[in-house]
Structure 1
Amino acid sequence: MDRIEYLADVIVRRGCGFALLAICMVMLGLSHDLLLCLKSGAILEALHGSVLGLFAYNAPKWNHKSTELWVLLNKGADLPPNYPPELLLEVLRKTYLRYAEMAGVVTLVLCIGAAIVWVFRG
């Protein structure tokens, strides 16, 4: 089970890394205006968290053989015999939820930062 959780974590972390790279580039482009930078980062990160939440919601409905996790597990060859595919989808769902929660925390931090900048901007 540890290998399945590790691979699911790698899959979701890699996707989140690409999304965060894009969000950071937008924020870097808007860094001339700190308030706009933080607000746009918060909005984009909230969108990112929402997408992760939708993935978590829909994960139990997916075909387990069409997931990247299945491919990384050598199309089931690395799984014990009679391993229920629902458990693979449950591991993916939990992983997506964990990263959606982290995205929510980052969104909250960016919103607080934007509020502080707005208050002290004058």
Structure 2
Amino acid sequence: MDRLDAFADISIRRACAFVGLGAVTVMLSLSFDPVLAFRTGAEITAVLAVGLALAAWRAPRRNIRHTEVYAMLRGAGVPANWLSAEVNRAQIVAVLRARLAWHAERVAVTAVMLWAIALFFWLLRPG
């Protein structure tokens, strides 16, 4: 179970890192206006949180053979007959759904923090 959690976390965090890289790049390009930069970062982060929540909601109906976690498990030497058993499939889906929901919550909190920073800079604006 720990290995399954680790593989799910690696897969989710890799996707979040790519979105985060894009968000930081956009925020840096808008650094001339801190309010706009942080608000844009918050919006991108909120879209990521919604995407993770939708992925968690969709996880039980998704074919696990089309997930990165399945590929990681196969690469780690887990036999295909273990992965195809219904009990183990349900376990993989449950872990994937729980980890996606956990990451969605953290990303949503990050979006709220970015919005709070944008509000702070907006309040500091002169005039």
Task: Report the CA distance shift for 1:61/1:81 in structure 2 as closer, same or farther (over 3 A).
Answer: closer
Any residues of structure 2 matched to 1:34-53 within 5 Å, and which? 34-53=34-53
* Long gaps (5+) in structure 1: none
Letter in 2 for 1:111: W
Question: 1:69: how far off?
Answer: 1.0
**Greater CA drift, 68-77 or 54-63:** 68-77
- Distance in 1 of aligned mates of 2:47 and 2:83: 37
Change (3 A) 1:108 1:81: closer
Aligned partners of 1:39 and 1:66: how far apart in 2? 34
2:66 is aligned to 66
Aligned to 2:103: 99
Q: CA RMSD in A?
A: 1.8
Contact 2:83 2:89 in 1 (8 A): no
Tell me the TM-score normalized by structure 2: 0.89
TM-score when normalising by structure 1? 0.92
The alignment-based identity, stated in percent, is 32
Residues in 1 aligned to 2:84 and 2:46: alpha-carbon distance in whole angstroms? 40
Aligned residues: 122
Query: Which runs of 5 or more residues in structure 2 are unaligned?
Result: none
Q: Distance in 2 between matches of 1:105 and 1:29?
A: 23
Q: Structure 2 vs 1, CA of residues 64 and 81 (structure 1 numbering), >3 Å: closer, same or farther? A: closer
